[in-house]
Amino acid sequence: MLLCAAVGLSVAFERVRAHARPAYTSPPRQRPSPVRSDTNPEPIHANTVIVLVIDGIRWQEVFTGVDRSLARIHGFAGTPRTASELVPNLHLLRTEAGAAVGAPGVGHTLRASGPVYRSLPGYMELLSGRPAEYCLSNRCGSVRSPTLIDRVGEHAPGAAALFGSWPHLIHAAALQPERGMVSTGRSGGTNLELLYRSQLRASLRVRAAAAGPAPSKGDFRGDAFTAALALDYLNHERPRLLFVSVGEADVWGHANNYGAYLAALQRADAFAGELLAASTRLNRAGHRTTLIVTTDHGRDRRAREHGPGIPESGRVWAIAGGFGVNARGDVPLEQPRTLSAIAPSVLCLLGLGAAEAGLPELFSC
């Protein structure tokens, strides 16, 4: 069963490569030196879970493609139009290589718990598996429950890695971020010596610093740098958990630039294709790899704002493929579910938790 699923996935992954951007040149392989611990943790299974969060992407673009009325309003004819043309890699993962929840008209909805549909509470919920009702803005302080970085790091120190373009993501990362490698924005994080010990990644750090925060501000790191760093870290350091967030689409959405929002989404889709290709390589090397793509919140009808008083911006989606994903296509949720269901599923796929409270419609682990 698993073998069949893996072979089918490999075929689909091969097709994905056609959509992916060229991979960055690999740096010389270096001896891994994971974070040491004096404790004697239980061995973690040799499973790998990759979570890609594309910040603030509506279900409309993922499942139905370019919004024609918005394209008209913003003055462009709007090709590509369909979901398969706009986000070919997500479409392939959703329809052939894996499955999706949150599709329009298919079962119950997947939502951020809120009550405000902003990024920091969304990421706190994604990472901790609990609603962050104590977090009402992006400046609410730090997460108050153990996260995936805490849980994986407890069992295998250094085996969890988190990357984010958005510097504030560090507040959602972990109760004890030093248990993993965390890189948020151009300069934030913990155990960054693990990240920048390769020549390529050290040079990406220099280039990201020189590029500045565009298209955002402060310590924001461009998505291309976040993606390149995360991909190289996955290929050469082999974390058990890779959690990556890219954020440019959200920035362009707030700027009321629908065309740039779509372009940022397409770049994130290309990155998803690269992660799929990397997953294929890992599975061929004997790993059991799962890729999950989701978002922290949706947006309003103009694809512009999200937050309190905009209930439609609480609607989200998730697409997954690989080990433990036996469903195919758009799967109906049997009951309304929230972003809190993602983390328990990740732990289950890693062999660190039971399936309860997860997403049984997508994952069997």
Q: Are 62 and 270 in contact (CB under 8 A)?
A: no
For the chain, give the secondary structure using H, E and C: CHHHHHHHHHHHHHHHHCCCCCCCCCCCCCCCCCCCCCCCCCCCCCEEEEEEEECCCCHHHHHHCCCHHHHHHCCCCCCCCCHHHHCHHHHHHHHHHEEEECCCCCEECEECCCCCCCHHHHHHHHHHCCCCCCCCCCCCCCCCCCCHHHHHHHHCCCCEEEEECCHHHHHHHCCCHHHCEEEECCCEEECHHHHCCCHHHHHHHHHHHHHCCCCCCCCCCCHHHHHHHHHHHHHHHCCCEEEEEECHHHHHHHCCCHHHHHHHHHHHHHHHHHHHHHHHHHHHCCCEEEEEEECCCCCCCCCCCCCCCCHHHHEECEEEEECCCCCCEECCECCCEEHHHHHHHHHHHCCCCCCCCCCCCCCCC
For the bound state, the minimum distance from the C-beta of residue 256 to Zn ion, rounded and expressed in Å, comes to 12
113 to 152: interface string for Zn ion, x by CB under 5 A = ----------------------------------------
- CA 56/CA 101 separation, integer angstroms: 17
Specify the stretch interacting with Zn ion by CB under 5 A; choose among 93-101, 244-252, 269-277, 318-326: 244-252
For the bound state, the minimum distance from the C-beta of residue 121 to Zn ion, rounded and expressed in Å, comes to 12
Applying the rule CB under 5 A, the residues between 247 and 286 that interact with Zn ion are 250
- CA 91/CA 106 separation, integer angstroms: 16
* Binding-residue total with Zn ion (CB under 5 A): 2
Residue nearest to Zn ion (CB): 250
Closest CB to Zn ion among residues 27, 115: 115
For the bound state, the minimum distance from the C-beta of residue 254 to Zn ion, rounded and expressed in Å, comes to 6
- CA 268/CA 54 separation, integer angstroms: 7
Specify the stretch interacting with Zn ion by CB under 5 A; choose among 77-85, 191-199, 246-254, 264-272: 246-254
Cβ contacts of 75 within 8 Å, gap of 6 or more: none
Closest CB to Zn ion among residues 112, 159: 112
For the bound state, the minimum distance from the C-beta of residue 282 to Zn ion, rounded and expressed in Å, comes to 32
Closest CB to Zn ion among residues 219, 250: 250
Q: How many CA atoms lie within 13 A of 321 on its CB side?
A: 33
Closest CB to Zn ion among residues 57, 110: 57
Specify the stretch interacting with Zn ion by CB under 5 A; choose among 61-69, 176-184, 245-253, 330-338: 245-253
Specify the stretch interacting with Zn ion by CB under 5 A; choose among 27-35, 58-66, 224-232, 242-250: 242-250
For the bound state, the minimum distance from the C-beta of residue 192 to Zn ion, rounded and expressed in Å, comes to 26
Closest CB to Zn ion among residues 307, 353: 307
Return phi, psi of residue 16, to 5°.
Answer: -65, -35
Closest CB to Zn ion among residues 250, 274: 250
Closest CB to Zn ion among residues 157, 164: 164
Applying the rule CB under 5 A, the residues between 40 and 79 that interact with Zn ion are 56
304 to 323: interface string for Zn ion, x by CB under 5 A = --------------------
Q: Which two tokens stand for residue 277?
A: 């290709």
Closest CB to Zn ion among residues 67, 250: 250
For the bound state, the minimum distance from the C-beta of residue 156 to Zn ion, rounded and expressed in Å, comes to 33
Closest CB to Zn ion among residues 56, 353: 56
For the bound state, the minimum distance from the C-beta of residue 263 to Zn ion, rounded and expressed in Å, comes to 17
For the bound state, the minimum distance from the C-beta of residue 117 to Zn ion, rounded and expressed in Å, comes to 9
Closest CB to Zn ion among residues 56, 114: 56
For the bound state, the minimum distance from the C-beta of residue 138 to Zn ion, rounded and expressed in Å, comes to 8
For the bound state, the minimum distance from the C-beta of residue 6 to Zn ion, rounded and expressed in Å, comes to 37
**Where does this chain bind Zn ion (CB under 5 A)?**
56, 250
